[in-house]
């Protein structure tokens, strides 16, 4: 399999974690999403949406959209499972994942940062404040669900990682890089600690990829 | 089942379409998302994320996040199917749906419009321009995928509606309400025509719900 990603992409990070958890070999190719490489004709032929990640696997055009890729990995390589067996548990895990996938992360990708600068004249500090606001909003919503449901941990949905944790950890990675704090979010802190004890999660971190700045 | 929604919510609209296609009875209760009703303690107990839709069905807290609700409906009420049988087809349909679910619609919900006004002083015209920009971007990305793949229609993925069409039609509904045009998007226009010929889709339209302004 070939993963088209970028060191900074939180969406590529989630796919990396799943590939590692399932023990699947792949090669990663970097698309320069900060320099417009996603709009090059060669990449548009792979993913006309002009976004990473995309996953080349078998025949047909590459899979795209991180959650769709993860569901496909789950269906085609079911061990270890990243979704619970019961329909209600699967709905909970998917909904928790979607707090990050839909309502948080898409608000801070390059195309949105560019638009904020172009339409509202937003500078770097304003864009960072915007990004931190949406990551904090998503994390607080997730915390509120984890606190209410009180499902035993250490992961979001019990004793093993699920898609909810992949999305949560990738959102946290962006938040932490921008100086965000988990004060008042003990359940998120518990899940993040579980992620940080698992090399499948930590090895996928943006700052550990080729091309990333050294911290 | 009880659907917590709002006439204007494009996410509630998608759930309405699926419930109709699957022939499931439900009662809809309106949460005043334009007046902050999603932050009332009574609703936060139902969905701590403070967003509609939420679907009360059987035991346990309501399901939330439209795509998670739709996957649950698909698993628990599989007829008629809204996902293809093959894993690659399912990945394609989910990815097309996520162009709307993740990268388009979350950029124009009330919490984002409020933030644009608060952080950047955006007025109504600027917010409309922002919203139309993201809906057009999502529709153009979808058009590019439909054009490249050339899967026979009339729907996005063949001769029967799938989740991709529910998301596409809800995004189009918001776009059309704000005066957006489908010029240069013949594949989207073809799918929209299929949606508009199906009463399960048209009856779910925002402007046909109780509380909506008359056009």
Residue with tokens 């494009």: B10
Q: How much is the pLDDT for B39? A: 97
List CB contacts (< 8 A) between B65 and chain A: 94-95, 98-99, 102
> Which residues are paired to B189 by β-bridges?
none
- Would you tell me which residues 150-209 of chain B have a C-beta closer than 8 angstroms to some C-beta of chain A? none
Structure confidence by residue, pLDDT tens digits, B58-85: 889 999 999 999 999 999 999 999 999 9
CA distance B162 to B80: 10
Tell me the pLDDT tens digit for each residue of A141-160: 999 999 999 999 999 999 99
* Interchain contact, B48 vs A75, CB within 8 Å: no
Pair of tokens at residue A179: 């100086």
Share of chain B above pLDDT 70, in %: 100
Q: Which residue of chain A comes nearest to B106, CA vs CA?
A: A103
The matching CATH number, chosen from 1.10.287.70, 3.40.50.300, 3.20.20.80, 1.20.1050.10, for B87-206 is 1.20.1050.10
Spell out which residues of chain A touch residue B71, defining contact as CB-CB under 8 Å.
Answer: 90-91, 94
**Which residues sit opposite A28 in a β-bridge?**
A3
> In this predicted structure, what is the pLDDT of residue A114?
97
Could you state, in order of their start, the residue ranges of all structural domains in chain B?
Answer: 2-80, 87-206
**A100 touches A142 (CB < 8 A):** yes
Pick A126's closest partner by Cβ from B112, B119, B130: B119
pLDDT one-digit tens code per residue, A178-207: 999 999 999 999 999 999 999 999 999 999
At B134-151, the pLDDT tens digits run: 999 999 999 999 999 999
Q: Does domain B2-80 bear CATH number 3.40.30.10?
A: yes
Residue in B with minimal Cα distance to A57: B88
Chain A to chain B Cβ contacts (< 8 Å): 140
CA distances to A42, A104, A194 from B35, rounded to whole Å, are: 47, 22, 39
Mean pLDDT along residues B48-61? 96
- Taking the alpha carbons of A26, A27, A29, A30 in that order, is the dihedral positive or negative? positive
pLDDT of residue A214: 81
Could you give the angle at which helices B124-149 and B87-101 cross, rounded to 10 degrees?
Answer: 160
User: Percentage of residues in chain B with pLDDT exceeding 90?
Assistant: 98
- pLDDT tier at B215, thresholds 50, 70, 90: low
The C-alpha atoms of residue A94 and residue A99 are separated, in whole angstroms, by 9
SS3 state at B54: strand
- Rounded CA separation A37/A30 (Å): 9
Write out the two tokens for A130: 């915007």
Tens of pLDDT, residue by residue over A56-97, are: 998 899 999 999 999 999 999 999 999 999 999 999 999 999
Closest residue in chain B to residue A141, using alpha carbons only: B49
Nearest to A172, CA basis, from A194, A150, A147: A194
pLDDT score for B214: 81
Question: Does pLDDT of A215 surpass 80?
Answer: no
Select from 3.10.20.440, 3.40.30.10, 3.40.1000.10, 3.40.80.10 the CATH code of A2-78.
Answer: 3.40.30.10
């Amino acid at each position: 399999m070939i993963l088209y990603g970028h060191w900074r992409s939180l969406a590529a990070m989630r796919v990396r974690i799943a590939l590692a958890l399932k023990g699947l070999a792949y090669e990663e190719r970097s698309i320069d999403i900060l320099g417009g490489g996603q709009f090059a004709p060669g990449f548009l032929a792979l993913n006309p949406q002009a976004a990473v990640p995309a996953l080349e696997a078998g025949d047909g055009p590459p899979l795209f959209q991180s959650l769709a890729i993860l569901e496909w990995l789950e269906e085609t390589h079911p061990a270890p499972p990243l979704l619970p067996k019961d329909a209600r548990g699967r709905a909970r895990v998917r909904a928790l994942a979607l707090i990050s996938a839909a309502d948080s992360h898409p608000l801070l990708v390059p195309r949105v940062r560019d638009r904020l600068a172009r339409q509202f004249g937003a500078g770097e500090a304003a864009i960072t404040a915007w990004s931190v606001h949406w990551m904090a909003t998503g994390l607080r919503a997730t915390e509120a669900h984890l606190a209410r449901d009180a499902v035993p941990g250490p992961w979001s949905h019990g004793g093993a990682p699920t898609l909810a944790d992949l999305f949560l950890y990738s959102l946290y990675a962006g938040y932490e890089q921008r100086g965000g704090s988990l004060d008042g979010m003990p359940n998120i802190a518990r899940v993040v600690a579980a992620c940080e004890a698992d090399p499948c999660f930590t090895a996928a971190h943006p700052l550990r990829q080729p091309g990333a700045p050294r911290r």
